[in-house]
Amino acid sequence: MRLRSQVGRLFASVLGMVAAAAAAPAEAPPLTARVLGANITNLAGKTSRTEGFQETNLAERKQWYGVELDWRPHPLFSLGLGASQGRIEEIHFGPPRNGPGTGNLEPNVDRTIRDSNLRHFTLAALFHPIPAEHPVDFYYGPVAGIAAYSRVFASSQSEFAYGGKIGFDVRLGRTHWGLGGDAAFLTSRLRIFDDSPSSLVIYSRVAIAVAYHW
């Protein structure tokens, strides 16, 4: 029920921004493309689990990049399509084994570390409170899409993801180019082992961006 109420509030916010955009005068639809990169990332939630003699811990790698295409049909409102990829470090501890010379079992000595990918494919509904003719563009709004986990020690999975973002662009003089940044978080479900229940995790990042405005 809690997840349903969060999704309901997300889409209510989108409908509210659409209504606000429809009530104001329209302008020519500008288009903005952004290339983003970050090494400030975080993966929060239940990211480790022990089952029997096995244990797996998941942690974010400080590596993320993405691209976005932002269509702004109205001065106050835009829709943004995004695709991004982050990295997750999987640390797997195997079953105990006999220690050298003693024959006694030593737990968690068989450790393997591998990297896996986390990809997000998203649609954002963004509100732009600063008029379009200004050199600074500030935006924020809800985000929804798909989180695709390419796991190493478990089967890959794709899950519904939702969250939000806030960001800005600053135009470079009279050119079409701009510099900026944004911060975003996306919530999705993740299971540690194939036979374990999935839990909500939050992937967040802070990125810098290079933008081109048509």
Per-residue model confidence as pLDDT tens digits over 85-133:
999 999 998 766 555 555 555 555 578 999 999 999 999 999 999 987 7
pLDDT of residue 59: 94
Q: How far apart are CA 187 and CA 146, in angstroms?
A: 10
Q: Which residue has the tokens 């973002």?
A: 165
CB-CB neighbours of 101 under 10 Å: 6
52 pLDDT tier (thresholds 50, 70, 90): confident
Pick 31 or 1 by higher pLDDT. 31
Cα–Cα distance, 156 to 150 (Å, whole number): 5
pLDDT at position 62: 93
pLDDT at 167: 98
Instruction: Compute the average pLDDT of residues 174-185.
Output: 95
Q: Is residue 83 over pLDDT 70? A: yes
Predicted pLDDT of residue 51: 82
Distance CA(124)–CA(126), nearest Å, equals: 6
* Of residues 148, 197, 209, 205, the one with CA closest to residue 46: 197
User: Higher confidence at residue 95 or residue 59?
Assistant: 59
Question: Is 10's pLDDT higher than 70?
Answer: no
Determine the topology of domain 2-213 in CATH: Porin (2.40.160)
pLDDT (tens digit per residue) in 139-174:
999 999 999 999 999 999 999 999 999 999 999 988
**Which tokens go with 178?**
């701009």
User: In terms of pLDDT, which residue wins out, 88 or 10?
Assistant: 88
**29: how many CB neighbours lie within 10 A of its CB?**
11
pLDDT recorded at residue 131:
85
Range 193-201, long-range pairs (CB < 8 A, 24+ positions): 193/49, 193/51, 193/54, 193/56, 193/153, 193/154, 194/154, 194/155, 195/51, 196/49, 196/51, 198/157, 198/159, 199/45, 199/46, 200/3, 200/45, 200/46, 201/43, 201/44, 201/45, 201/46, 201/47
CA 184 to chain centroid, in Å, comes to 7
Enclosing H/E stretch for 7: helix 2-22
pLDDT of amino acid 177:
95
- pLDDT for res 14: 44
Distance CA(30)–CA(178), nearest Å, equals: 14
Q: What is the mean pLDDT of residues 177-197?
A: 95
Residue 33 confidence (pLDDT): 97
Average pLDDT over every residue of 79-85: 98
Q: Kindly list the domain boundaries of the chain, sorted by start residue.
A: 2-213
Between the alpha carbon of residue 137 and those of residues 10, 66, 123, 171, 179, the distances in Å are 23, 19, 19, 8, 10
Supply the pLDDT for residue 22: 43
